[in-house]
Amino acid sequence: MFAALKELFNEAIEKEKPVVGDDDDLKLGQKTRAYEKAKEIITKSFIEIKSYKLGEPEIKGFAKER
């Protein structure tokens, strides 16, 4: 399911990829930066989601010195 969601987001962002020739250089640069930033945000979000441990209690170590 995780892979399917990731693919869905990747497909959505690819549809928004800027096309050369539609705008002037300034607008194309802005769109390209926004596109790359969106990809970065999605990638980082999925890495963070993957790092979550659902339903597993945190195991605390036993402190012998007490």
Tally the domains of the chain.
1
Give the residues of the chain that fall short of pLDDT 70.
22, 53-66
Q: What are phi and psi of 46, to 5 degrees?
A: -70, -35
- Residue labelled with tokens 């990747």: 10
Residues 34-52: pLDDT tens digits?
A: 999 999 999 998 888 888 7
Residue 8 inside a domain? The answer is yes
pTM of the complete model beyond 0.95: no
Identity of the residue numbered 53: K
Residue 63 inside a domain? The answer is no
CA distance 20 to 7: 25
Range of the domain at 18: 2-50
Write the DSSP string, 31-62. HHHHHHHHHHHHHHHHHHHHH--TTPPPPPPP
